[in-house]
Amino acid sequence: MDLILWRHADAEDGVPDLERKLTKKGRKQAARVAEWLLERLPDDFVVLASPAARARETAQALGVKIKAVDQLAPGAAVKKILQAADWPDGEGTVIVVGHQPDLGTSAAHLCGVTAGWSIKKGGLWWFEHAHPVEVRAVISPDLL
């Protein structure tokens, strides 16, 4: 199983938090990362997104069906994120589009580190379930 943790791209400020949309910069970030992903993803993958508008918009840049999952909302615990993705027992490739610090903490956890890491807006970590877990890629939209 492969797990991709993709932080939502740059979003507007404001409240209510779940209604914040991507900025013009965020839409460009999401498009760049989506293009990079689509060149590398297998034909069959699943996209799960936080119910927050900014996460759903980021995921929509892939141009495929996405599933909004309430347990991926801002403040999601590592356990909830991994459960939503069915990690490590699931099959195929699952992309989780969510928030910081939730995804950074999850990425650190998968690497055996207790402190959380920062994932830049629009950035991602791609993990492969192996023994030990392997990091396949770490991407920032600014590098694409």
The predicted-structure confidence for 111-134, as pLDDT tens digits, reads as follows 999 888 999 999 999 999 988 899
pLDDT of res. 115: 86
pLDDT of res. 40: 97
Which residues, including other chains, have CB under 8 Å from residue 113's CB and lie 6 or more apart? none
Asked whether residue 37 carries a pLDDT value surpassing 90, the answer given is yes
Q: How far apart are CA 82 and CA 79, in angstroms?
A: 5
pLDDT of res. 95: 98
Q: What is the mean pLDDT of the chain?
A: 96
Identity at 84, one-letter amino acid code: A
The mean per-residue pLDDT over the stretch 11-37 comes to 97
The mean per-residue pLDDT over the stretch 38-52 comes to 97
**How many CA atoms, within 13 angstroms, populate the side-chain half-sphere of residue 81?**
29
pLDDT of res. 94: 98
pLDDT of res. 66: 98
Q: How far apart are CA 28 and CA 46, in angstroms?
A: 22
Q: How far apart are CA 89 and CA 96, in angstroms?
A: 16
The mean per-residue pLDDT over the stretch 21-29 comes to 98
Asked whether residue 30 carries a pLDDT value surpassing 90, the answer given is yes
Tell me the sheet residues that pair with 124.
6, 139
Which residues, including other chains, have CB under 8 Å from residue 141's CB and lie 6 or more apart? 9, 28, 29, 30, 32, 33, 120, 121, 122, 123
**Helix, strand, coil share of the chain (percent; to 5):** 35, 20, 45
Considering only CA atoms, which of 116, 107, 103 is closest in space to residue 50? 103
Question: What predicted TM-score, i.e. pTM, was given to this entire model?
Answer: 0.97
The mean per-residue pLDDT over the stretch 54-60 comes to 98
| Residue 75 banded pLDDT, cuts 50, 70, 90 | very high
